[in-house]
Structure formats: C-alpha cells, structure tokens
C-alpha cells in the first residue's frame, strides 16, 4: 500500500476533517512517555466514548461541535495533549498528511491479517492485536487490563446487583447452584449491556433483529463490570405468585464506568433492564420466562452477605 488515505486533509468526502483530527490526536497520544502515557491513552478512550456516544448505533454525519467539549472533558491535565496542538496539526496539510500516511502504512499489515470478515468498524489495534467488535466502547477495559500500575480510573469497585427471580422446575435454586458460574456470567453480561444502554442510549430496539438480544444494541458493550460471582439465593417467604428467589450477584466495576453501571439499574431503568437479564439467562441455558425477573437494584457492598 502507498500509505495514502482515501481522502486528504483538504478533502470533503468520508468525513475527512474527523480523519485528520483523529490522526493528529492519536499521533500526540503515541508521543507521550512515562506515567503521562497511561493517562493519555485513557483520555483517548474517554474522548471516544464522549464524542461517539450520541452517535452509537447510528450511521450519521459527525457533529463537529461536540469535539471540543469532549476533548476538554478528558484531556484536562497540564501534561496532556493540547487542543491547539491537535487542531493546528489537523488543519495544516504539510503536518497531518505525513502523519496519516504513516499511520496507514503501520496498520496495513494488521488489516491484512483480518481476512474477509473483519467485524464491525472501527477497527482498533492495541499492541498489534485487533480488538474486534465493541472496540471503541470497551477500549477503557482493554487499556486497564494492560496498564501497570493501574491509574485511578481503572480501580476495581466492588458492588452487587440483586433481583427477584420466579423459579420453575427447570430453573430452581438447585439447578442454578449446579451451574453457578454460567448463571453469574449471564447476569454479568446483562449488567454490562444495561450499563451500555445508560451510556449510549440510541437505537436500542433490536427486538426484531435476528441474532440480537431483545432490547439490546447491535454491538455496543462498554464492559463496565467483570468477575461475576453468585453470592446467594434466598427463597422469599410465601405467599408469592410462584416460588421466588432473592438473588445476589457480585461484580467489580471499573471506577470510571461505575456511574453508568449504577444508572443502568436506577428505578427508571428497571423495567427495561429486566428483559435483558432474562434474555441473557436464556442465552446461557436457563429457560426463564418473560416477567420472571423483578425488583432489580444495586446494593452497596459492605452490607452483610453482599459482595462476599
């Protein structure tokens, strides 16, 4: 490959202004060294989340007016890449064109390894490894897994999710205990999807799309939580409409993504979160019926019996 992009810095097709800006921003982040390098990388992940958030799951033209507020919200330290430096680079063809060509040549062999089915755009590589789908939304999780020492944004915050689950012969306390980890993984994935919905709320109606979780997005997943663990299954006292368990599953959340994870189970979101939990349980082999999950909420860790 020649290293040329489909559009130059002065072009108008393919949102060339964004290509130029992103290239200069990436170039500046790559130049950071030492402790600043980790902060710069996390800032880039935060910028993408902020800037792309309103457009998640939509093919629309970039709203350039959001670029500066999102930049200022994340690149806000004296050591960080400056707005003026990036903007000057992006609008100076003699500076940005060689940067774009160099980036294109660098990633050409990485693209060549992807084959005919490379997954969803955008394609992000970390240490030469393709991140496949959910790339920009889960970039923070990927970076936190590789940075040492971990910055404060990567700190693990323990918390638990509780809900009531109407049981059947097929989905009983005994059946759940026998497959405790798949059950916990299903709830964890549902919590991550719910957090993604809270952070990127657009176009979540995938109920009629083949292969998609009802009420979930086609690909956005921030991976806010990890390490799902079934803590307790407690039968509710009768009488209830059917035998019901109070379920507690603990997680660890990235500190930077704890707010959307908490919002995902706020009172206004519970009705929408329950079908996601049910869908993920079914996807993991638990034949729950619609309406089986109720009373979803967050529980503060530190209370007896929680996050153990």
- Domain boundaries along the sequence of the chain: 13-150, 155-299
**Does residue 164 sit in helix, strand or coil?**
strand
> Measuring CA to CA, how many Å separate 181 from each of 178, 217, 261, 284?
9, 24, 21, 10
Per-residue pLDDT tens digits for 32-65? 777 788 889 999 999 988 888 777 766 677 788 8
Cα gap 244→289, rounded to integer Å: 13
Backbone angles phi, psi at 156, to 5 degrees: -85, 125
Contact call for residues 273 and 296 (beta carbons, < 8 A): yes
Of 107, 104, 100, 102, the C-alpha closest to 128 is: 107
- 155-299 carries CATH number 3.30.70: yes
Of 17-21, 29-33, 154-158, 217-221, give the lowest mean pLDDT range: 217-221
Mean confidence (pLDDT) of the chain: 83
| 83 class by beta-carbon count within 10 Å (0-12 exposed, 13-18 middle, 19+ buried) | middle
Cα gap 166→296, rounded to integer Å: 13
pLDDT value, residue 3: 44
Which residue do the tokens 């060509």 mark?
101
Q: For the residues 98-109, what does the mean pLDDT come to?
A: 86
Radius of gyration of the chain (CA): 22
Contact call for residues 151 and 38 (beta carbons, < 8 A): yes
In the chain, count H helices and then E strands.
10, 6
Contact call for residues 56 and 217 (beta carbons, < 8 A): yes
- pLDDT classification of 218: cutoffs 50, 70, 90: low
The pTM assigned to this predicted structure is: 0.83
- pLDDT classification of 231: cutoffs 50, 70, 90: very high
The more confidently predicted of residues 168 and 305 is 168
């Amino acid at each position: 490959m020649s290293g040329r992009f489909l559009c130059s810095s002065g072009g108008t097709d393919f949102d060339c202004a964004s290509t130029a800006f992103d290239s200069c921003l990436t170039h500046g982040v790559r130049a950071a060294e030492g402790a600043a390098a980790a902060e710069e990388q996390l800032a880039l992940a935060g910028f993408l989340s902020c800037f792309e958030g309103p457009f998640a799951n939509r093919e629309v033209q970039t709203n350039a007016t959001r670029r500066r507020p999102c930049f200022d919200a994340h690149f806000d330290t004296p050591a960080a890449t400056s707005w003026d430096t990036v903007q000057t680079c992006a609008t100076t063809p003699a500076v940005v064109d060689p940067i774009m060509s160099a980036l294109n040549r660098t990633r050409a062999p990485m693209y060549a390894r992807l084959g005919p089915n490379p997954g969803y755009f955008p394609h992000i590589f970390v240490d030469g490894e393709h991140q496949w789908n959910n790339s920009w939304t889960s970039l923070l999780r990927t970076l936190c897994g590789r940075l040492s020492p971990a910055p404060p944004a990567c700190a693990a915050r323990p918390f638990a999710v509780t809900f009531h689950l109407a049981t059947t012969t097929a989905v009983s306390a005994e059946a759940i205990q026998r497959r405790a980890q798949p059950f916990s993984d299903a709830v964890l994935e549902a919590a991550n999807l719910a957090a993604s919905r809270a952070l990127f709320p657009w176009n979540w109606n995938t109920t009629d799309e083949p292969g998609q979780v009802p009420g979930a997005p086609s690909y956005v997943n921030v991976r806010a939580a990890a390490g799902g663990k079934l803590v307790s299954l407690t039968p509710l006292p009768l009488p209830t409409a059917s035998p019901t368990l109070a379920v507690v599953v603990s997680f660890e959340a990235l500190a930077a993504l704890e707010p959307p994870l908490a919002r995902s189970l706020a009172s206004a979101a519970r009705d929408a979160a329950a079908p996601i939990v049910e869908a993920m349980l079914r996807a993991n082999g638990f034949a729950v019926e619609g309406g089986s999950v109720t009373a979803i909420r967050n529980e503060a860790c530190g209370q007896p019996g929680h996050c153990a």
